[in-house]
Amino acid sequence: MSLPTAGDDPRYTTRGAVYVPSGAGITKWFSGDVYTTKLRAQDTNGALGVVDASVPVGSGPVPHTHADQDETFFLLSGELEFLDGDKTFMAYAGDLVFVPRKIRHRFTNVGLYPARMLFFYTPGGTESTFIEGGDEPEAGVMVQPWGPERIDERVLSILAKYGTEALPDLP
C-alpha cells in the first residue's frame, strides 16, 4: 500500500473554502436590530447561512417559526431573553441556543447594553430574509425599532418566501 501524493490525489489541490474577512458581509437593519449576513446558502451549496447580529436594548424579533431550518444562536456579548414555545429563559455571553425547525421562538434584549451574537441557519436560506426585507443602514444614525405597522404584507410575504411565520402571542 502506498500513500497518496499531491500529483495524483485531488484532495491535495481542490479548493472550496469560503473566506469572509472581518467587516465583510451584507448589513441591513431588520426589526430594530443590525444584521450582517456573513454567509449565504448560495455560498455553501445550501448547507448553511450565518448572520452576525447586534441587538439594541429592548429589541428583537416577534415570535416566529421556521418551516425548514434549524437555528442556532451563539451569544458573544450581552444577555438575551429567549422564548421557547411558551416559556422564556435567559442566555448570556458564551451560551449557545439551538432551536429546531417549527418551534416558536424569539429573543429580546432585556439587559442594559447591546447584545451581539452569531446565528446559524441549517440548511441555509432564511438569512436572505434580512437582505431582501431589511432597511439600508444610515451612517451616524441609530437603528430604529420596528413597530407593529412594519410587519405589513410586504414583510410577511418575504418571511413566507424564506419559510418563516410570525406567531405573536394570542390576545
Helix (H, G, I), strand (E, B) or coil at 117: strand
pLDDT in tens, 117-126: 999 999 999 9
pLDDT in tens, 129-138: 999 999 999 9
Are 70 and 164 in contact by the 8 Å Cβ rule? The answer is: no
pLDDT at 150: 86
128 lies in which domain range?
22-165
Q: Tell whether 85 is covered by a domain.
A: yes
Q: Tell whether 9 is covered by a domain.
A: no
Q: Tell whether 39 is covered by a domain.
A: yes
pLDDT at 64: 96
Q: Tell whether 83 is covered by a domain.
A: yes
pLDDT at 148: 84
Q: How confident is the model at residue 171 (pLDDT cuts 50, 70, 90)?
A: low
pLDDT at 12: 84
Q: Tell whether 112 is covered by a domain.
A: yes
Q: Tell whether 17 is covered by a domain.
A: no
Q: Tell whether 124 is covered by a domain.
A: yes
Overall domain count for the chain: 1
pLDDT at 6: 65
Q: In 3D, which of 35, 34, 30, 26 has the Cα closest to residue 62?
A: 30
Res 5 pLDDT > 90: no
pLDDT in tens, 104-119: 999 999 999 999 999 9
pLDDT at 10: 85
Q: Tell whether 8 is covered by a domain.
A: no
Q: What is the CATH number of the domain that holds 81?
A: 2.60.120.10
pLDDT in tens, 24-70: 999 999 999 999 999 999 999 999 999 999 999 999 999 999 999 99
